[in-house]
A and B are shown apart, each in its own frame.
Chain A
Amino acid sequence: KAGVTQTPRYLIKTRGQQVTLSCSPISGHRSVSWYQQTPGQGLQFLFEYFSETQRNKGNFPGRFSGRQFSNSRSEMNVSTLELGDSALYLCASSQGIRGYTFGSGTRLTVV
């Protein structure tokens, strides 16, 4: 079966702009979570959605937001981009707490 699909793979944005990243989970998986990976902070949890509801949220400013649609696809949005938002953004889908499957990520560069 198809894995977790993230689009786009690469993105270059200018400071102050906003960006939307997309994640399509494995068919049948209702939980989608997002992580940010930077060299300095490592892998950090952003938020988790289940059946269109945000169940958990990490310690990120309100510029970071997300949503989940009825087909379980999820988007995350970052507004007013800062240089420090440059990172690899990873999405994972799961059934329960076992077996997380990650996508290939979106590498965002803010210039």
Chain B
Amino acid sequence: GIQVEQSPPDLILQEGANSTLRCNFSDSVNNLQWFHQNPWGQLINLFYIPSGTKQNGRLSATTVATERYSLLYISSSQTTDSGVYFCAVMSGGAQKLVFGQGTRLTINP
């Protein structure tokens, strides 16, 4: 099946810094989503982005489908951005998300 790799596994930054999270996938996808898992365990959908670029406030994402990677940018980080960020993809006809292992982001005040 399709493989999803995220990097880096851990990222520690000071408040106000910018960050870039990467997601590589091994096959063509028809769905790619970025999620933020809050400290209580809930996955919050950030972007649905199988290709192209989207922005939402301080967050933006770019997926280059032909090169099989996606990037999540967080600008002017805040402590509330801390948590684990997951990339998840869907490939072929099966309606199931395959998740990467996540990037744990820690923003220190």
Interface positions of A (Cβ within 8 A of B): 31, 33, 35, 37, 42-45, 48, 50, 55-56, 58, 88, 90, 92, 97-105, 107
Contact between A102 and B95, CB atoms less than 8 A apart: no
A interface majority secondary structure: strand
Q: Other CB < 8 Å A-B pairs besides A42-B101, A102-B42, 14 of them?
A: A31-B95, A33-B96, A33-B97, A43-B86, A43-B99, A58-B96, A88-B41, A92-B43, A92-B97, A97-B30, A98-B31, A99-B48, A104-B41, A107-B41
Interface positions of B (Cβ within 8 A of A): 30-31, 33, 35, 40-45, 48, 86, 88, 90, 94-102
Contact of A101 among B45, B90, B99 (CB under 8 A): B45
Subset of 8 A-B contacts with CB under 8 Å: A35-B99, A56-B96, A88-B41, A92-B97, A102-B45, A103-B42, A104-B40, A105-B41
Q: A2 vs B24: C-alpha distance in the bound complex, in angstroms?
A: 34
Closest residue on chain A to residue B94 by CB atoms: A56
- List 3 A-B pairs, minimum CB-CB distance, nearest first: A43-B99, A102-B43, A45-B96
Q: Which residues of A contact B42 (CB under 8 A)?
A: 102-105
Known: A56-B94, A58-B96. A42 touches B31 (CB 8 A): no
Contact between A42 and B99, CB atoms less than 8 A apart: yes
Q: A43 vs B35: C-alpha distance in the bound complex, in angstroms?
A: 12
Q: Which residues of B contact A37 (CB under 8 A)?
A: 41
Closest residue on chain A to residue B86 by CB atoms: A43
Closest residue on chain B to residue A105 by CB atoms: B41
Q: Which residues of A contact B101 (CB under 8 A)?
A: 42
Contact of A42 among B30, B90, B94, B102 (CB under 8 A): B102
Closest residue on chain B to residue A41 by CB atoms: B101
